Amino acid sequence: MKEKPLLSACDLSIGYTTRKKTQKVISENLNLELVPGELVCLIGPNGAGKSTLIRTLIGMQPSLTGDISLMNRPLEDFTAMEKARVLSVVLTSNTNISHFRAFDVVALGRYPYTGWSGTLSEEDKKIVSFSLDSVGATELSNRFMSELSDGEKQKVMIARGLAQDPSILVLDEPTAFLDLPHKIEVIRILKSLSRHPGRAVLLSIHDLDIAMRTADRIWLFNKKGEFFSGSPEDLILQGVFGSAFAMGGVHFDNEKGTFIIPPEKKGDANLLGNNGVERIWTAHALERAGYCISKDNSSSITIEIGNNSGNTCWKCMNGEPEREFPSIADMIKYINQIHENKDSKKQLPVDLIDQEFDNTIVDEVCLT
């Protein structure tokens, strides 16, 4: 049986009415549903319409045409207080509350139940503590917001949204300004919150990789304002994921599931030895530097991953005497010089010829 959507839009057009009363349509004919249990990531290039859609869906700006339903009722029928009991919104710009302690910020989330007096019952206090605990921020309770890092502030703001006990949690770019481990932590928290019975989480995000790995469903705007909804994998297979973001030679590799910045193509290289993680990162470095790995070992340059006194080394053979390097960076520098010299017929620079891997030096370095 199809689950009833918590939030839905039918034939929705979003955009702006200008001062001259003309309409600037950002996207039209939008039909979408947010169902319980889902984490939905809204993605799209800059200026595509993500914030406009979010603001329209939560009733912060009027739609141009079409209908929005919240819990099967027209959105416009809700009073602000009714809406706050089913829908909580975490906006990135919402953090100008530096003189509050984290607990008090989260307590603000109880206002749909306490009224504007803000007097907390014992039950309210329990919910505030539970919300802080759910996002792993209990130890921040007594800290002032001004003393928290961006990642810690973001957790507190999510806890505030959670304290509203909403069916729908909407977040505009909750991972902006966070480093990768904190982005992943925040998304993990949001994913676990979306698993609460009867709840869904909708967030806009610029980190495509994170969206692809965690979203149950992606809502995607392309540059033309066209809207697509589906699992990340379906959108990749339909080609819409890659085409939405392709620009300036950057393209999406459907097999690797990542965006490729094409390097200047310099040539091929054979890659021998070591089938472990060193081979993966050597191939990565060669491709990044513009060398394709030869499939039939037919290149005039061969890189062999070897071992010298227990240390990984990279041997380079290209018709010259074999050279050996202690790092990928040194090996790449050398083959770049070969490439440049092939073009300019210059001699190899002396400092590179002298850069052979010297066991004595390595032993000394290890001992100190």
Ligand X SMILES: Nc1ncnc2c1ncn2[C@@H]1O[C@H](COP(=O)(O)OP(=O)(O)OP(=O)(O)O)[C@@H](O)[C@H]1O
Q: At what angle do helices 122-134 and 150-163 cross, to 10 degrees?
A: 140
CA distance 257 to 210: 11
Binding residues for ligand X, total number by CB under 6 A: 11
Q: Please, which residue, 41 or 316, has the CB nearer to ligand X? A: 41
- From 50, 153, 266, 315, residue interacting with ligand X (rule: CB under 6 A): 50
Rounded to a whole number of angstroms, the minimum distance from the CB of residue 48 to ligand X is 4
Residue 255 structure tokens? 């097999």
Rounding to the nearest 10 degrees, give the CA dihedral for residues 272, 275, 278, 281.
80
Q: Does 49 bind ligand X (CB under 6 A)?
A: yes
**Which H helix or E strand runs over 340?**
helix 328-344
Q: Report if residue 62 touches ligand X, rule: CB under 6 A.
A: no
Name residues contacting ligand X, limited to 1-40 (CB under 6 A).
Answer: 16, 24, 26
Cβ–Cβ < 8 Å for 158, 189: yes
Contact between 41 and ligand X by CB under 6 A: the answer reads no
Identify the residue among 8, 51, 56, 164 touching ligand X (CB under 6 A).
Answer: 51
Site stretch for ligand X (CB under 6 A), options 45-53, 97-105, 128-136, 290-298: 45-53
Instruction: Give the nearest distance from C-beta 61 to ligand X in angstroms.
Output: 8
Of residues 52 and 164, the one with the C-beta less far from ligand X: 52
Residue 206 CA, distance from chain mean position: 5
From 46-54, 123-131, 158-166, 287-295, give the range in contact with ligand X by CB under 6 A. 46-54
Residue 280 to residue 268: CA distance in whole angstroms: 16
Distances (CA, A) of 20 to 24, 34, 102, 175, 276: 11, 34, 44, 37, 65
Number of other residues whose CB lies within 10 A of the CB of residue 3: 12
CB 75, min distance to ligand X, A: 18
Question: Reduced to 3 states, what is the DSSP secondary structure of residue 77?
Answer: helix
Q: Which of residues 105-134 bind ligand X (CB under 6 A)?
A: none
Q: How far is the CB of 232 from ligand X (least distance, A)?
A: 18
The residues that touch ligand X, with contacts defined as CB under 6 A, are 16, 24, 26, 44, 46-52
